[in-house]
């Protein structure tokens, strides 16, 4: 388990800043060229090839601007970026569950799972050399545009490209530049060990050094077996004992959202006014010069990005705090709904899509990290209908939930909506039928059948219609949505 540590630099003089930016610029250009080449399907096999093959590839597309060590790191960095691009697509489109829907044969499934790990072979499916229409569409539809470098902000340096020393109680890092024998000494705030690869980051004008260090995974005794968490928007989590963790979350989200809409309103106002004025300028050159000036001076992105970084940091703090509260109880399993499916659960309708996305991103990163470090295991369950199912009798109905309250229409159990959801999440983890990879549709069928069993009624007619739809769709080789 690795943890990133951020080290801030003291202010640098102009000459040093120029030299560092020059290095970062060359690094970004080189990495971008590597990315373009690595994205070609004929080169996907390089991602998993031996060091020697990678090096030959790196030399072939080298700009010959970077010192050799840094060029190597640049290539590895680019490969890592490509692999993450594919792996994220895999997760986002849940390839594994797609295989489960596609074929019943265990043998074929295993064949696909193996193929998913071999990038060179996957590339052959994409290029048409290996024909598999189903897989081709799965891969093509899940991939976004290949990554490119548009911000020259991060440069990876290996151990031979920098030196650390302490003078007068202050810590310094001296970094190689593009010029022979010319190094830049960066004074740092604080003093902690720096070793291995480091990341030189230009954080909107301020330089930072990021280091990665190993964190020990503790093997402490567990005090309780399971904690199930419902991720909410008023607080970070509610557990099955109706305890709420991270109570400031709602207030923070509301504040972020308010600033966002206010800023957006102001920006669009500036834009319309500028367009009106531009309409009165007759000379075309003058007009475009005016619009350009407005874009640069009044519609710049810098402040917006800084605000985003700050609010994300504030959210991370609240989420961390909530996770610490949970982990203090030393549970063996921490059970949450599958975060990749967690969307549209916002109770606050004003909450923008963007904020929901951030929250998911931060939570995912944080939860994964913290929970492994604490010696607990993070377990995911399918999220479909967790808010509508009764944790006591299992009866599922939309009407069971009304805002923050839960009241079962069948057995009358009363609970908070989040507390009930947390209990259902815990039940899901031990459910013999409902599995993580199942579609919402499959889960609905199971829950409909259970409803019928509990109430003794005939299953909903919609269920049979759905069955017909599904068998029809399977014939056509498609999955119903
Ligand atoms: Zn009930």
CA 389 to ligand 1 center in whole angstroms: 8
pLDDT at residue 344 above 60?
Answer: no
**C-alpha of residue 343 to centroid of ligand 1, in Å:** 25
**From ligand 1's centre to the CA of 417, what distance in Å?**
13
Kindly tell me if the per-residue pLDDT of 465 is higher than 60.
no
Question: How many Å apart are CA 339 and CA 360, to the nearest integer?
Answer: 7
Measured in Å, residue 270 CA sits from the centre of ligand 1 at: 54
Q: Over 60: is that where the pLDDT of 462 sits?
A: no
Could you give the percent of the chain with pLDDT greater than 90? 41
Is 111 a domain residue?
yes
- Whether 314 is covered by a domain: the verdict is no
Instruction: Tell me, yes or no, whether 257 and 206 share the same domain.
Output: no
What is the C-alpha to C-alpha distance for residues 255 and 42, in angstroms, rounded to an integer? 48
Report if residue 323 sits inside a domain: no
Q: Are residues 114 and 49 in the same domain?
A: yes
Name residues whose C-beta falls within 8 Å of residue 14's C-beta, 6 or more positions apart in sequence. Answer: none
Task: Compute the distance between CA of residue 386 and CA of residue 138 in angstroms, rounded to an integer.
Answer: 28
For residue 194, being part of any structural domain is answered with: yes
Q: Are residues 284 and 204 in the same domain?
A: no
Give the CA distances from residue 107 to residues 49, 101, 114, in Å, rounded to whole numbers and listed in that order: 27, 14, 11
Average pLDDT, the chain: 83
The pLDDT assigned to 342 comes to: 52
The residue segments making up the domain with residue 289 are 253-304
Q: Is residue 457 part of a domain?
A: yes
Q: How many domains does the chain have?
A: 3
C-alpha of residue 456 to centroid of ligand 1, in Å? 14
- Is the pLDDT confidence value at 129 over 80? yes
153 and 298 share one domain: no
User: What's the pLDDT score for residue 358?
Assistant: 65
Answer yes or no: do 147 and 265 share one domain: no
Distance from residue 390's CA to the centre of ligand 1 (Å)? 5
pTM here is 0.58
Full DSSP string of 297-346: HTS-SHHHHHHHHHHHHHHHHHHHHHHHHHHTT-EEEEEEE-GGG--S--
Residues 47 and 123 in one domain: yes
Whether residue 274 sits in one domain with residue 166: no
The pLDDT value recorded for residue 346 is: 47
* Residue 468 belongs to some domain of the structure: yes
Please check the confidence at residue 204 and state whether its pLDDT lies above 80.
no
- The alpha carbon of 393 and the centre of ligand 1 are apart by a number of angstroms equal to 4
What is the average pLDDT across 364-373?
69
Question: CA dihedral defined by 55, 57, 63, 69, rounded to 10 degrees?
Answer: -10
Expressed in angstroms and rounded, the spacing between residue 429 Cα and the centre of ligand 1 is: 19
Residues 185 and 41 in one domain: yes
Do 257 and 210 have their domain in common? Answer: no
Please give the residue that has the higher pLDDT: either 464 or 331: 331
Q: Are residues 402 and 452 in the same domain?
A: yes
Residue 161 pLDDT > 60, yes or no? Answer: yes
Instruction: Identify the domain boundary among 304, 338, 363.
Output: 304
The answer on 200 and 51 residing in a single domain is yes
Separation of CA 457 and ligand 1 centre (Å): 16
Domain final residue, candidates 269, 304, 339: 304
Q: Is the pLDDT of residue 8 over 80?
A: yes
Is residue 318, in this structure, part of any structural domain at all?
no
- Using the mean position of ligand 1's atoms as its centre, give its distance from the Cα of residue 418 in Å: 15
Residues 142, 286 share a domain: no
Query: If 0-12 CB within 10 Å is exposed, 13-18 middle and 19+ buried, where does residue 407 land?
Result: middle
Q: How far is the CA of 406 from the centre of ligand 1 (A)?
A: 10
Ligand 1 centroid – CA 232 distance (Å)? 22
How far, in Å, CA of 438 to CA of 142, rounded?
Answer: 18
pLDDT given at position 263: 73
Note whether residue 470 is domain-resident: yes
Tokens of 209: 């050094």
């Amino acid at each position: 388990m690795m943890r990133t540590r951020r080290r801030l630099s003291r202010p640098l003089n102009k000459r040093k800043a120029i030299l560092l930016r020059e290095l970062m610029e060359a690094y970004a250009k080189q990495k971008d060229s590597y990315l373009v080449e690595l994205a070609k399907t004929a080169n996907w096999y390089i991602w998993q090839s031996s060091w020697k093959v990678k090096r030959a590839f790196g030399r072939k597309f080298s700009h010959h601007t970077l010192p050799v060590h840094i060029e190597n790191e640049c290539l590895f960095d680019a490969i890592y970026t490509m692999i993450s691009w594919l792996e994220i697509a895999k997760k986002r489109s849940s390839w594994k569950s797609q295989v489960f829907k596609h074929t019943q044969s265990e043998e074929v499934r295993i064949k696909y799972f193996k193929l998913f790990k071999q990038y060179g072979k996957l590339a052959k499916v994409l290029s048409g050399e290996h024909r598999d229409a189903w897989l081709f569409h799965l891969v093509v539809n899940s991939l976004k545009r290949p990554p490119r470098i548009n911000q020259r902000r991060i440069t990876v340096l290996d151990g031979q490209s920098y030196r650390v020393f302490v003078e007068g109680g202050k810590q310094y890092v001296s970094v190689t530049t593009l010029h022979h024998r010319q190094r830049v000494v960066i004074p740092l705030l604080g003093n902690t060990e720096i070793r291995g690869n480091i990341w030189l980051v230009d954080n909107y004008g301020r330089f930072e050094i990021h280091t990665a260090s190993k964190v020990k995974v503790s093997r402490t005794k567990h005090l309780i077996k399971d904690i199930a968490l419902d991720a909410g928007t008023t607080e970070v989590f509610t557990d099955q004992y109706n305890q709420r963790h991270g109570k400031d979350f709602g207030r923070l989200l509301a504040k972020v959202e308010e600033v966002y809409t206010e800023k957006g309103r102001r920006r669009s106002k500036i834009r319309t006014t500028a367009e009106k004025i531009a309409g009165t300028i007759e000379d075309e050159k003058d007009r475009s010069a005016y619009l350009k000036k407005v874009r640069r001076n009044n519609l710049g992105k810098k402040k917006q990005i800084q605000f985003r970084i700050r609010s994300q940091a504030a959210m991370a703090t609240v989420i961390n705090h909530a996770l610490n509260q949970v982990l203090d109880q030393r549970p063996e399993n921490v059970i949450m709904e599958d975060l990749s499916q967690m969307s549209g659960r916002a109770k606050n309708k004003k909450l923008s899509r963007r904020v929901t996305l951030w929250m998911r991103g931060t939570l995912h990163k944080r939860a994964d990290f913290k929970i492994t470090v604490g010696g607990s295991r993070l377990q995911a369950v399918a999220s479909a209908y967790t808010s509508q199912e009764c944790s006591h009798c299992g009866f599922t109905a939309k009407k069971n939930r009304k805002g923050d309250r839960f009241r079962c229409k069948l057995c009358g159990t009363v609970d908070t909506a989040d507390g009930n959801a947390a209990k259902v999440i815990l039940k899901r983890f031990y459910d013999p039928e409902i599995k993580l990879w199942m579609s919402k549709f499959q889960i609905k069928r199971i829950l409909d059948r259970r409803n019928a069993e509990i109430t003794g009624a005939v299953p909903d007619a919609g269920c049979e219609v759905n069955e017909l739809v599904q068998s029809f769709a399977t014939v056509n080789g498609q999955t119903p949505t």
